[in-house]
Structure 1
Amino acid sequence: MSKYIAEFVGTLSLVLFGCGAAVLGGDHVGQLGIALAFGLAIVAMAYGIGPISGCHVNPAVSLAVFIAGRMSLRDMAGYWVAQFSGALAGAALLAAIAGTAHGLGQNGWGPGYLGEFPLSAAAIFEVVMTALFVIVILGSTGPGAPAGFAGLAIGLTLAVIHIVGIQVTGVSVNPARSFGPAVLVGGHALSQLWLFFVAPAAGAVLGAALFRFRVLAA
């Protein structure tokens, strides 16, 4: 059970730190600060729970690891339960602190949402960035990768993705991260949640396939 508890705690922390930076500190730290909050949360959790569960804290990452042949279907399902539960708990804690009147850092697109990018741009961004994200994850944790640096590489990659894409979708690349805030905020955020399941899953499949079929191989 320890690996599932670790995934719960890790995903809770990602939502609380990342979305918390947006909700509680966004006016002060800006887009760069929010991006660093998400990235540094992953760095912290990678070294904190990585030895226990691998620190996926993201259903798309677990899907990619499964497709790459590095985990079982049973473990992937268990990770998904832990990740979605952790994200909901993290969003609930944030709501208890800040309320939901100003949102919980939920993802979205279109008129009234940040840069007001259309659905097509949001979908392209989420698919491509998730694919690139899982390529970094699978590459930096694979055989022959420098030991001890994966957490830093993964966290910095997530930060860069947020620097590029916060105005597009708020950045998901993680269905659980989108799920927690959307469920509690409801309304428009919940109606748009489907994209943040479909696009990251598609990106995860694309990125993982490169390793599964040894297109990317040392």
Structure 2
Amino acid sequence: MVRNLAAEFFGTFWLVFGGCGAAVLAAGFPELGIGFVGVSMAFGLTVLTMAYAVGGISGGHFNPAVSLGLAVAGRFRWQHLAPYWAAQVVGAVIAAAVLFVIASGQVGWEPGGFATNGFGTLSPGGYAMASALLIEIVLTAGFLIVILGATSTAVPGGFAPIAIGLALTLIHLISIPVTNTSVNPARSTGVALFADTAAMGQLWLFWVAPLIGGAIGAVIWRYILMPGESLEGIAGEGEIA
């Protein structure tokens, strides 16, 4: 179990450091900035690379909503949920802290939003709370369906991280203007602690919505798309998910 938690820690660290780092350090760089398309790709690449690197150890969740969804789908043991969440949140917070130290080394730098998620005045496009809640639920549900489908025994093995990474890229392309894209409570928590905005006050939505969405996606998969799946293949016990 220690190896599982270490894998989740490092995987979530990489996701936050790589994805949020691209947003903080590279997205708005004069003339050479990668923009929101580049940030979307960065998040997808973090999941793809770490799923291959450590997915065989822990299942490659890197996201509390994914762990919950896999448990609801019968692919993950409920008793492992709290330890996984803890490892993921700690990994995200430490990644955000390291990113903060690096970014603050630039003369005149201010944290501002620091790649946080938000609605209303904290939404990149000024979207309301209802819009943020709905898009986070829908996209997290879709993400779980992709994860569960890509790791099903009905599809060729070894390609799941590619599908999952591309799905996360697509999710960011859709929702960066709305919420700056969460679909991951750990990712939202880590950077919110260092932002110079009211992001902490809105953090609740980026736990509630992804967790609801993850559970919905798992229910859709388990009872409509792939009925009968069981704990025979448990993510977190060696299966990449």
2:87 is aligned with 1:82: yes
**Cα distance, 1:112 vs structure 2:** 5.0
From 28, 48, 52, give the equivalent of 1:47. 52
Correspondence 1:160 to 2:161: no
The answer on 1:216 being equivalent to 2:225 is yes
Helix, strand or coil at the partner of 1:111: helix
Q: 1:15-164 alignment to 2 at 5 Å?
A: 15-27=16-28, 28-99=33-104, 101-111=111-121, 113-164=123-174
In 2: Cα distance, 1:113 partner to 1:65 partner: 29
Q: 1:3 maps to which residue?
A: 4
Q: Which amino acid aligns with 1:111?
A: T
CA contact (8 A) 1:133 1:157 kept: yes
Q: How far does residue 186 in structure 1 lie from its aligned partner after superposition? A: 6.0
Say whether the 8 Å CA contact 1:16–1:90 is kept in structure 2: yes
Query: How far, CA to CA, are the matches of 1:177 and 1:25 in structure 2?
Result: 18
SS of the counterpart of 2:76?
A: coil
The percent identity for this pair of structures is 47
Counterpart of 1:184 (choices 194, 200, 205) is: 194
CA displacement 1:145-176 (0-9 Å, x = unmatched) = 21011000000000011011101000000000
* Separation (CA, whole Å) in 1 of partners of 2:40 and 2:130: 23
Q: CA RMSD in A?
A: 1.3
Aligned to 1:177, what secondary structure does the other structure show? helix
Q: Given the two structures, how large is their TM-score scaled by the length of structure 1?
A: 0.96
Task: Point out the structure with the larger helix share.
Answer: 1
In 1, distance between residues paired with 2:80 and 2:220?
22
**How many positions carry a matched residue from both structures?**
217
- Unpaired segments of 5 or more residues in structure 1? none
Query: Which residue pairs with 2:239 in the alignment?
Result: none
Distance across 1 between alignment mates of 2:22 and 2:146:
24
| Structure 1 contact 2–52 (Cα < 8 Å) conserved | yes
Unpaired runs of 5+ in structure 2?
105-109, 228-241
Runs of 4+, deviation exceeding 6 Å: none
Whether the aligned pair in 2 keeps the contact of 1:20 and 1:104 (CA below 8 Å) is no
Per-residue Cα deviation, 1:94-114 (whole angstroms, up to 9, x for no partner): 001013523321111112531
Distance 2:186 2:200 in 1: 13
